[in-house]
Structure 1
Amino acid sequence: MKKRTHTAILISFFVISLISQSFGQGYRIEATLKGYKDSSFVLGHYSYSNKQFVAKDTAKADASGHMVFEGNTSLPGGLYLLLFPGNQKWVEVVYSGKETNFSLEADTTDLVGSMKIKGSKDNELFYAYQRELKKGIQQIETFSKSKATDGPAKMKEAQDGFKAYRDKFFKENTDSFTTKLFQMSSDPEVPTAPKLANGKTDSVWVFNYYKAHYWDAVDFSDERILRTPFLEAKIDRYIKNLVVQTPDSLIKDTDWLVSKASANKDVKSYVVFYIINQYENPKTVGTEALWVHMANKYYLSGDMGVAEDVKKRIAEKVNTLKDLLVNKTFPVLGVSDPTGKKINLQAIDASYTVLFFYAATCGHCKEASPVLKSFYEKNKPSGVKVLAINTEHNQEEWKSFIKTYHLEDLINGFDPLNQIDFNRKFDVVTTPTIYVLDKNKKIIARKMPVEQLDDFLNYYRKKQLASAK
């Protein structure tokens, strides 16, 4: 794959500056971990991306496994990790920002079961819940494997027992950060669904209820949720699994989600950042329109502050993409065929036109060309045509490429005067880049892998036939 100069905004520049509430000066966390001695440990929290870890302090355990993390500056609240040497094992620590001086002690052979906490109600609750959860899981697994006749009844009894414990735990500890964490990580509880006329459960009702209550337990006003592994996972599941992957649905539901997240400016910033990052180069065909919408609404409007140079790059990317989205008519190409004649895209008589932007020196393009050729041979009887456009400017290499990969039957295009910025005008960030157009030259797919062309076209034809009935 050959990568070209481009203005795609991955927003890797994004750094949220969180101003934490201060609930006292400094912090002191003592830990005694039996089984380790003379070893260095790291204290840190989950990042906005749960794939990252943000280190905040280090301490060395003495001969008895005792260590102290201490500082004069307040730590931001969140779910912390006490990372063991080698980074393969850790202890989770709830740091609410209110309890700043506490201790924990555990045997490393059974961290959850042996954990003892002093000075932190949140951590006492956290490990009590973990122990009860572990016990419930063990009971359920035992009864599920049991061949006794009362096995299913016992398993349900264990499930109901843990549910009763959980409900009581949440009710009695409503104000604790620990309760927020466990509620946030849980799925909404769906009540018994109504039955359809055929006696089956109404699965659509179940889905709609689940989606409508998916965010009920998330307190968007609490910026501490940014330093947990739960927010990113919930956003990802919501937008990719619970929202229909069409621009209209995505725009409607993500705007709604951002409005909920507006209870805290830092949480809102992260929600916008995460979603927009997912849809600049999305996996679902045609959903880049969400990126354009969010870039306009939240960044270019001034709703969320960004540096002027960043804003300029986003504006350039929006200007490129706005005319290249699914359902837009593909713009004028301005390329010539091997005889030097200008190619009129609109004049190409085809049921579907595939635009194949490639570079003659690109290794991936060389691998893709035989697949493209095979696709064309199979589909040309049904009116499919392919316009292959070389984005480089060496005419001899272009003609050699056409001959080497037997592309003479395709419509071949070239920019002999080197006037076209393919990146800026047609969003050709990497090669090959493929667009699929209908008979009116309206875009029906963009950034389509060559290997998926045949399957996509078959799917699209069937969809068109079904909608015509």
Structure 2
Amino acid sequence: MLLISCVLAKAQTGYNIPITLKPYKNTYVYLGYYYGKMKALADSALLDANGKGVFAGKEPLPGGIYFVVSPRKEILFEVLIDKQQKFSIAADSASLPNNVTFTGSQDNLLFHLYTRFTNQIGGEINRTNESFKAAKNEKDSAKLRIRLKQLTDRMQLYRDSMIAKNPNTFLTALFQAMKEPVIPPAAKHPGGKYDSLYAYRFYKSHYWDGVSFSDGRLVRTPFFEAKMEKYYKELVVPNPDSIKQEVDHMLLYSRSNQEMFKFLLVHFVQKYVNPEYMGQDAVFVHLFEKYINTGQADFFTEKYKDFMFKRAYSLMANLIGQPAAQLDLVDTLDKPASLYDIESEFTVICFWDPTCSHCKETVPKVDSIFKAKWKNEGVTVYGVMVDGGKDLWKKFINDNKLSGWIHAYQLPSQQKQEEAAGKPNYRQLYDVYQTPILYLLDKDKRIIAKKLTYLQLDEVIDLKLKNKKI
């Protein structure tokens, strides 16, 4: 009896999806899937002379939205994969997506009906949008706006009906996750008047109502990552502390599903290791310290772990708001020229190389704005020669009349002492792996801004001075 049970259990594992796909024959077709914004292939099937083949494997496929791909690598139609992984597909590429038949999969029967409906409504929406663009007066535009709303409402009503009739299906989980909050009418806002702050808070607090972060199937859909990016772009305050709080919240709720946890952590690491906005690298450092360096992310390759380790330690010492690392360097006469000996309202550190073409163009411009403006605003420029050699460095300073700066470099003997002591060098402490690089420090040598252009740095100085006067 036990042997029979084991055989039955083994027979029920894996997936087996026979497919008949006209007019293809004696060729391969493919089963692909979404993974966030990416697409990948999961399997292939060789069609015989009658256009018949089988997608099959010993291990079950992870749940999600998959798609059938033609021999020419074109997506033909989508397929839902969930617990039931033994069903058949019959289709004719000449009449897609309408002529697709699923046998043995209730989810895909419902999904196919929905796909046909959305194609019909989607076509009407596209035509209405084109008419809206060509509208010649406000009266026509108003009519078309009403029509667009009617069409989108029909789409949502269809989804709501599907949810009500089929509450426990994968398709319902997808519809719930795709839903966006509907802001209450103005009459229901505090005081009975439209309140933009209330609307924002309501929308944000209900944005994830239909999403379960323990549902790993959502990572294999074309909309989940886009929904997440919209949330962080439009609804989360873009300062590092706010982002860290949101990220931790999501990762906490995904703990029960390794697939979702992995997807989210990889997404956040890749987004914030080289962030769009200055200062958000603090989010990556937070992720590294809390999750990666504590052994909670063993799914990263050793090569990528090494990259993250080095990147994190190159950022830890130069996060916005932190005290800048000490620079015990010497000037052109090899006399001490320490960063922390500077007494100034602001200090601009300029890491540069006299042989670097970009530096040759930028450094004189930094000098021009320094002499024309910054000097009178209490700004000191601390120029650090990174490479290029002392002779070329001094020649460039003299040729371009870079007077008024504190020029500094590291003696070879200082560098050897650092290496012998196992201390991080200034390249690591300031993440200097290209030139020129500019940092802006306040009077206490805390980092205000980094890796901006000299014009952007000027805007920050103006803003700081303006705020100081208020």
TM-score (structure 1 length as normaliser)? 0.82
Report the CA distance shift for 1:434/1:186 in structure 2 as closer, same or farther (over 3 A). farther
Q: In the TM superposition, what are the counterparts of 1:126-275 in structure 2 within 5 Å?
A: 126-141=111-126, 145=131, 147=140, 153-193=146-186, 201-275=194-268
Do the aligned partners of 1:279 and 1:290 also contact (CA within 8 Å) in 2?
A: yes
Which protein is bigger by CA-based radius of gyration?
2
Do the aligned partners of 2:17 and 2:85 also contact (CA within 8 Å) in 1?
A: no
Q: Secondary structure at the match of 1:284?
A: coil
Q: Match of 1:11? A: none
Mean CA deviation greater in 294-303 or 145-154: 145-154
Do the aligned partners of 1:143 and 1:155 also contact (CA within 8 Å) in 2?
A: yes
Structure 1 residue 199: Cα displacement: 7.8
Q: Match of 1:276? A: 269
TM-score (structure 2 length as normaliser)? 0.82
Structure 1 residue 129: Cα displacement: 1.3
Q: Match of 1:123? A: 108
Q: In structure 1, which of residues 346, 349, 356 is the aligned counterpart of residue 350 of structure 2?
A: 356
Structure with greater proportional helix content: 2
- Across the aligned residues of Structure 1 and Structure 2, the Cα RMSD in angstroms comes to 3.3
Do the aligned partners of 1:281 and 1:288 also contact (CA within 8 Å) in 2?
A: yes
Q: In the TM superposition, what are the counterparts of 1:25-104 in structure 2 within 5 Å?
A: 25-34=13-22, 36-47=24-35, 49-51=36-38, 53-62=39-48, 65-104=51-90
Do the aligned partners of 1:184 and 1:230 also contact (CA within 8 Å) in 2?
A: no
| 5+ long unaligned stretches in structure 2 | 1-8, 133-139, 419-424
Do the aligned partners of 1:336 and 1:343 also contact (CA within 8 Å) in 2?
A: yes
C-alpha offsets along residues 128-186 of structure 1, whole Å, 9 cap, x if unaligned?
11222232233445556384996555544434333222211122222222222333234
Q: Is 1:113 matched up with 2:101?
A: no
In 2, Cα distance between the equivalents of 1:332 and 1:244?
A: 32
Q: In structure 2, which of residues 377, 386, 397 is the aligned counterpart of residue 391 of structure 1?
A: 386
Mean CA deviation greater in 448-457 or 138-147: 138-147
Structure 1 residue identity aligned to 2:172: T
Mean CA deviation greater in 144-153 or 401-410: 144-153
Structure 1 residue 352: Cα displacement: 2.2
C-alpha offsets along residues 254-313 of structure 1, whole Å, 9 cap, x if unaligned?
211211112313322331232133222222122222222222221233444478997787
Do the aligned partners of 1:389 and 1:413 also contact (CA within 8 Å) in 2?
A: yes
Structure 1 residue 198: Cα displacement: 9.7
Q: Is 1:436 matched up with 2:423?
A: no
Structure 1 residue 393: Cα displacement: 6.2
Q: Is 1:422 matched up with 2:426?
A: yes
Q: In structure 2, which of residues 282, 286, 290 is the aligned counterpart of residue 289 of structure 1?
A: 282
Higher relative contact order (CA 8 A, sep 6+): 1
Q: In structure 2, which of residues 337, 341, 353 is the aligned counterpart of residue 343 of structure 1?
A: 337
| 5+ long unaligned stretches in structure 1 | 1-20
Q: Secondary structure at the match of 2:98?
A: helix
Mean CA deviation greater in 228-237 or 63-72: 63-72
Structure 1 residue 105: Cα displacement: 0.9
Do the aligned partners of 2:32 and 2:40 also contact (CA within 8 Å) in 1?
A: yes
Report the CA distance shift for 1:160/1:181 in structure 2 as closer, same or farther (over 3 A). closer
In 2, Cα distance between the equivalents of 1:156 and 1:141?
A: 13
Mean CA deviation greater in 146-155 or 445-454: 146-155
Mean CA deviation greater in 261-270 or 249-258: 261-270
Q: In structure 2, which of residues 434, 455, 458 is the aligned counterpart of residue 454 of structure 1?
A: 458
Q: Is 1:382 matched up with 2:377?
A: yes
Structure 1 residue identity aligned to 2:119: K
C-alpha offsets along residues 312-333 of structure 1, whole Å, 9 cap, x if unaligned?
8756654553332111121211
Structure 2 residue identity aligned to 1:30: P
Do the aligned partners of 1:22 and 1:74 also contact (CA within 8 Å) in 2?
A: no
C-alpha offsets along residues 91-150 of structure 1, whole Å, 9 cap, x if unaligned?
222111423332131334x52233322222222222211222232233445556384996
Structure 1 residue identity aligned to 2:293: L
Q: Secondary structure at the match of 1:91?
A: strand
Do the aligned partners of 1:143 and 1:151 also contact (CA within 8 Å) in 2?
A: yes
Report the CA distance shift for 1:188/1:130 in structure 2 as closer, same or farther (over 3 A). farther
Structure 1 residue 362: Cα displacement: 3.2
In 1, Cα distance between the equivalents of 2:147 and 2:302?
A: 63
C-alpha offsets along residues 225-252 of structure 1, whole Å, 9 cap, x if unaligned?
2322333333333333321121221222
Do the aligned partners of 2:79 and 2:108 also contact (CA within 8 Å) in 1?
A: yes
